[in-house]
Amino acid sequence: MSQRAKNDMESVSESVLINHLRTQEESLKLLDEIDLLLNSLYEEKGEGFELALKSKVRSWVTEAIREEMSKGVDMEEFLKSVKNEIASFKELKISLAFEPTSLSIEKIYMQAQGIWGRKILLNLSYDPNLIAGCVIIFEGEYRDFSLRKAFKKEFLQKKEQILSLFKDYQVSDQV
Amino acid sequence: MKDFNFYLEQIGEIGFTEEIVHSIVYVSGLPQAKPSEVVMFESGEIGQVLSLGEDLVEVLLLTRSELRVGTKVVRTDELLQVPVGESLLGRAFDPLVKPIDDGRLIGGLKVSPIDTQPHGIIGRKQVSESLETGVTIVDLIIPLAKGQRELVIGDRKTGKTGFLLQVMLTQARMGTVCIYCVIGQRLIDIKNRFEFMEEMGIKKNCLIVATSSSDAPGLIFLTPYSAMTIAEFFRDQGKDVLLILDDMTTHARYYREISLLAKRFPGRSSYPGDIFYTQAKLIERAGNYKKGSITCLPVAEAVLGDLSGYIQTNLMSMTDGHIFFDIDLYNQGRRPAVNPFLSVTRSGHQVQTFLQQDLGRKLTSFLVEYEKMKEFMHFGAEAGETVQNVIELGRKLDIFFNQPLGKTIPVNANILLAGGLWSGVWRGGDDEDFKRKIEEVILNYETNKGYKTKVDELIKSCNKFTDLVNSLRMDSEVLGVAQKI
């Protein structure tokens, strides 16, 4: 690989656009914006791109793009390579028993990055049936760390004891 | 099989449905999936892994249901297995042994893998016993042996199914386990087969493995493999099994559909390149073994009598002969419409007695002569005495070979009647009278034990057909003809 190509790849991966991404949802939104910008590159006699930057994409995306433009990169190549970079990211699905705040998402992302590296995107879902804990799916591997599973396991092992407790409770309730 | 959550926890892998193309589903995830492994969907459907792509696993759905993109999938870490056991007898079910008759679940079963390698040569042995079909023309001219694979080929509506049911009736009455495999046909046809078994009282030795044309292509594709697995179970119990696969051309068509959907490169007539292997590995599992035998009668449909079709010639090369049902003979009123000149048996003759072989040769050569004489007569030429005798005997043979559906005739009764025809005891008589005499002999043979023993001993004592003919000329009492010749 040539030095220039290597530099380009590093430039893309270090780009603010990529660094900003945490979740799958964010990446899909960014991909939509990139598609919009790509389509606008040759519209309105070359003015379409500027128009799109001003009014059709989010402000932080506009700033990141302008930063890259100031470095003199070929915009079409750059946007395509950002798309390819995002496509190479792996998805980490996490089902939680609560709806996370942005701070929680950031913490989870940092933890995940420490384990699996930079190239991951979180796909978070809310499932109150888990009671507590989480379910993690990554590259086809499934791990259930929820309290629901723990309760189920406990119930299976001590089924008779728990049922007899319920019966005693019912009887005392009637009395 | 356990449920979805069990496998999810046990195996710890999950996949998601990404794309659905009719009966082929593309699944992401499942990193350790193996070819032919069974996978289970969240909704309870099952599928089989067809192939492993770079990012996606290709799964063949075995149920016809509405799946959605995003449905979760788990591996079961098992290959497809079929429950087998004695309690399958008398029942009708699908390839996964779900009952399709009165709905009672079948219990007391163990499982056996559906797709196994055919046995090597060590466990096999030469065919040694004849398989009586109860159909005169087949038993005398195109005999079958236990462990033989004989293709039944012909146009639609030429009596192939009727013939197969006659064979099943004869063999079931002799204690052979009979498995009728219906592949992608109409539900009413499946019902008719089942009712035939019930009416004839042979349910206890028979079973039906069936899929209708409305079932999932994946399930239809598995039908003959499931039937063969069940046949192997009974073979391993030391029993003789008759397996009818009706029909293999439909099976090939469904496999073509699956392969084209799975984007396999189409070959001749758009069939996949491995169509021969797919059907050969099934047919090769039948045969004569030291433990028992599996006699396989695969059925193939021809179009306007064309035996040179792709699937038809494939099947002919995999089997030990074929019985050809001729549409022209059927239209002439012959029942069964078996064409003895275009039918072949590669193993049947070696298990016959010398008498039967001699009779078969004489009948075949006589039929050739008869056909020539019939053509000669078309020109309206005056027929001499020899020609007239040949025509007369040929006509009586046509009546003799004509056999209604549901009627089976023991082979020794057939030999006796053939001997009687050759001896000339029924020469010059009325056709109706001749039919009646045949019926009498058959009825006597089937109901009168003493008569049966007498006939069996007579046949056993004759080494050649001429010996039998001469004995009958000397004493035709056994044929119910009072006058001695």
According to the model, what pLDDT value does residue B482 have? 46
Question: Who among A140, A143, A149 is closest to B30 (CB)?
Answer: A140
| Strands ordered across the beta sheet of A134-138 | A120-126, A90-96, A134-138, A141-144
CB contact under 8 A, B12 and A143: yes
CB contact under 8 A, A149 and B9: yes
Q: How far is Cα B287 from Cα A58, in angstroms, rounded to an integer?
A: 73
Chain B residues near residue A139 by CB distance under 8 angstroms: 29, 31
Residue ranges of chain B with per-residue pLDDT less than 50: 482-485
Strands (E), B64-197: 72-79, 81-84, 92-93, 110-113, 130-131, 144-145, 151-154, 177-185
Give the pair of three-digit tokens for residue A161.
């004891």
The conformational region for residue A134 under phi > 0 = left, psi -120 to 50 = alpha, else beta, is beta
Query: Which residues 24-43 on chain B approach chain A with CB closer than 8 angstroms?
Result: 28-31
Give which of B76, B62, B106 is closest to B8, Cα–Cα: B76
H or E element that contains B477: none
Contact of B14 with chain A, judged by CB distance below 8 Å, is answered with yes
Q: Is A167 in CB contact (< 8 Å) with chain B?
A: no
Q: Which one, of B137, B50, B54, B477, lies nearest residue B329 by Cα?
A: B137
Decide if B14 and A137 are in contact by the 8 Å CB cutoff. yes
Chain-chain contact of A140 with B12 (C-beta, under 8 angstroms): no
- Between B252 and A1, where is the model more confident? B252
Cβ–Cβ < 8 Å for B228, B222: no
Known catalytic membership, residue B346: yes
Determine whether the interchain pair A139/B15 forms a contact, defined as Cβ–Cβ distance below 8 Å.
no
C-alpha B463/C-alpha B364 separation (Å) is 19
Chain A nearest-CA distance from B48, in A, is 18
Cβ neighbors of A79 (< 8 A, separation 6 or more) are A34, A37, A38
- State the pLDDT at residue B95: 95
Whether residue B54 lies within 8 A of chain A, CB to CB, comes out as no
Give the DSSP letter of residue B119: P
Count CB-CB contacts under 10 A for residue B339: 19
Residue whose entry in the numeric block shows the structure tokens 């009646």: B436
Distance between CA atoms of A49 and A37, rounded to whole angstroms?
Answer: 6
Active-site hit among B173, B264, B335, B346: B346
- Tell me the Cα Rg of chain B: 26
Residues 6+ apart with CB under 8 A from B205: B89, B172, B175, B176, B177, B178
DSSP calls for A41-66? TTSGGGTHHHHHHHHTS-HHHHHHHH
**Contact criterion met (CB below 8 Å) for B37 and B13:** no
| A139·B29 Cβ contact <8 A | yes
Residue B339 neighbours by CB under 8 Å, 6+ apart: B324, B325, B326, B329
| B9 touching A (Cβ < 8 Å) | yes
> Residue type at B42?
E
Contact A140 B9 (CB under 8 A): no
What pLDDT sits at residue B381?
Answer: 64
pLDDT of B92-115, one tens digit each?
Answer: 999 999 999 877 877 778 999 999
Hey, how many other C-beta atoms are within 10 angstroms of the C-beta on A42? 11
CB distance from A144 to chain B under 8 Å?
yes
Which regions of B101-150 does DSSP assign to beta strands (E)? 110-113, 130-131, 144-145
Smallest Cβ–Cβ distance between A139 and the set B8, B9, B31 belongs to: B31
Residue B318 CB contacts under 8 Å (≥ 6 apart), including other chains:
B149, B276, B279, B280, B283, B284
Q: How far is B81 from chain A (nearest CA, A)?
A: 25
Mutant choice from A141, A143, A151, A153 vs B, greatest count of B C-beta within 10 A: A141
Dihedral sign, CA of B60, B64, B68, B73?
negative
The one-letter amino acid at B53: G
CA B458, B462, B465, B470 dihedral sign is negative
pLDDT confidence of residue A2 = 58
Work out the burial of residue B70: count CB atoms within 10 Å of its CB; fewer than 13 is exposed, 13-18 middle, 19 or more buried.
exposed
**How far apart are alpha carbons B416 and B434 in whole angstroms?**
14
For A144, other C-beta atoms within 10 Å of its C-beta total 19
Tokens 């003809």 found at: B481
Q: How many helices (H) and strands (E) does chain B have?
A: 15, 19
Q: Would you call B53 an interface residue with chain A, using a CB distance cutoff of 8 Å?
A: no
Which residues 9-68 in chain A show a CB within 8 A of chain B?
Answer: none
Amino acid found at B141: I
B29 to chain A, minimum CA–CA distance in Å? 4
Q: Are A141 and B15 in contact (CB < 8 Å)? A: no
Q: Is A160 on the interface with B (CB under 8 A)?
A: no
Residue with tokens 């189920």: A152
* CB within 8 Å of B484: residues ≥ 6 apart: B474, B475, B476, B477
Q: How many CB pairs under 8 A join A and B?
A: 23
Whether B15 contacts chain A with CB within 8 A = yes
**Among B340, B280, B338, residue whose Cα is nearest residue B313:** B280
Q: Which two tokens stand for residue B257?
A: 């559909």
Report the C-alpha gap between B400 and B36 in whole angstroms: 51
- Residue A11 pLDDT level (bands cut at 50, 70, 90): low
Element holding B391 (H helix, E strand)? helix B385-401
Amino acid sitting at position A132: A
Q: Chain B residue closest to A153 (CA)?
A: B9
- Residue B282 CA to residue B1 CA, distance in Å, equals 25
Quick check: A141 and B12 CB within 8 A? yes
Residue A140 touches chain B, beta carbons under 8 Å: yes
How does strand B24-29 pair with strand B81-84?
unpaired
Residues of A in contact with B9 (CB under 8 A): 144, 149
Q: Which residues contact B106 (CB under 8 A, 6 or more apart)?
A: B83, B85, B87, B88, B91, B93, B97, B99
Q: How many residues does chain B have?
A: 485
Q: Which residues of A touch B30 (CB under 8 A)?
A: 140
Tokens, residue B281: 């590995």
Within 10 angstroms of residue B420's Cβ, the number of other Cβ atoms is 26
The band of A167, judged by pLDDT with boundaries at 50, 70 and 90, is confident
Domains in chain B (CATH in brackets) are 4-79 (2.40.30.20), 83-351 (3.40.50.300), 355-479 (1.20.150)
Q: Which chain A residues have a beta carbon less than 8 Å from that of B31?
A: 139-141
- The full length of chain A comes to 175
Buried b (16+ CB within 10 A) or exposed e, A100-131: eeeeebeebbeebeeeeeeebbbebeeeeebe
Q: How far apart are the first and last CA of chain B?
A: 72
Q: Which residue in chain B has the smallest CA separation from A138?
A: B29
Partners of residue B15 in chain A, C-beta under 8 Å: 140
Residue B77, classed as helix, strand or coil, is strand
